Amino acid sequence: DQQVKQNSPSLSVQEGRISILNCDYTNSMFDYFLWYKKYPAEGPTFLISISSIKDKNEDGRFTVFLNKSAKHLSLHIVPSQPGDSAVYFCAASARAGGGADGLTFGKGTHLIIQP
Amino acid sequence: EPEVTQTPSHQVTQMGQEVILRCVPISNHLYFYWYRQILGQKVEFLVSFYNNEISEKSEIFDDQFSVERPDGSNFTLKIRSTKLEDSAMYFCASRGHARPEAFFGQGTRLTVV
């Protein structure tokens, strides 16, 4: 049962353009969402997060949008740079800031930035 | 910048052997986790640990697995009798109290032969 779904295994974007990575979830109890970036042979690196009480969070080139009614979130990267090429994981948590609940991850989207 | 460190980076073990994976979480963090990623698959939650006890565990974390915080800095994952299907990258993570962003170590690649 995939509670967090990333339906695009890979995405290719030209350098300088906008990259949009999508994520859907099914568990209504999720109240905090995170994006992680992962290079081969390294651990996931935290990028940006959003609480369910917000619909947008921005940090530099990265913006996360949350549509609670659609149970959908997206990560926008603009402008895309070659160093952004990595696997991006969407993750969700059901107890924001409180308990010790683990993260549920999606399968990841491999973003390839082409020069 | 503080980081989560894991040792060893790669461990090869024979099926049926016990293995201990080690982690040093970020020093002021209170919540500790183990995750694993089988090659080509998603990152999967194994267990969370808080206040010196397991607070949550997944179906994967069966009786063959155990975790321990033997002192104030280390956090270990033990697999008692390894199976071929335990081969994966194992990630340790930790987080502070106020926010749910967990910070991950570089991982230990476990290969069971």
pLDDT 10s digits, B70-108: 887 899 999 999 999 999 999 999 998 877 789 999 999
Q: Contact, B15 vs B84, CB < 8 A?
A: yes
C-beta atoms of B42 and A101 within 8 A: no
Is the Cβ of B65 closer than 8 Å to some Cβ of chain A?
A: no
What pairing do the DSSP bridges indicate for beta strands A10-14 and A109-114? parallel
A95 reaches B (C-beta below 8 A): yes
Nearest CA in chain A to B38: A107
CB B104 within 8 A of CB B89: no
pLDDT tens-digit profile of B13-69? 999 999 999 999 999 898 999 999 999 888 999 999 998 999 999 999 999 999 999
CA distance A63 to B11: 38
Partners of B76 in the beta sheet?
B22, B68
Q: Which two tokens mark B85?
A: 């299907």
3-class state of residue A84 by DSSP: helix
Query: Residue B108, SS3?
Result: strand
Task: Quickly state the pLDDT bin for A100 (edges 50, 70, 90).
Answer: low
- Assess contact for B22 and B9: CB atoms under 8 A: no
Gap between the Cα atoms of A97 and B36, Å rounded: 23
For residues B55 and B48, give the distance between their C-alpha atoms in angstroms, rounded to a whole number: 6
Neighbouring C-beta atoms of residue A23, cutoff 10 Å:
25
Closest Cβ–Cβ partner in B48, B49, B105 for A101: B48
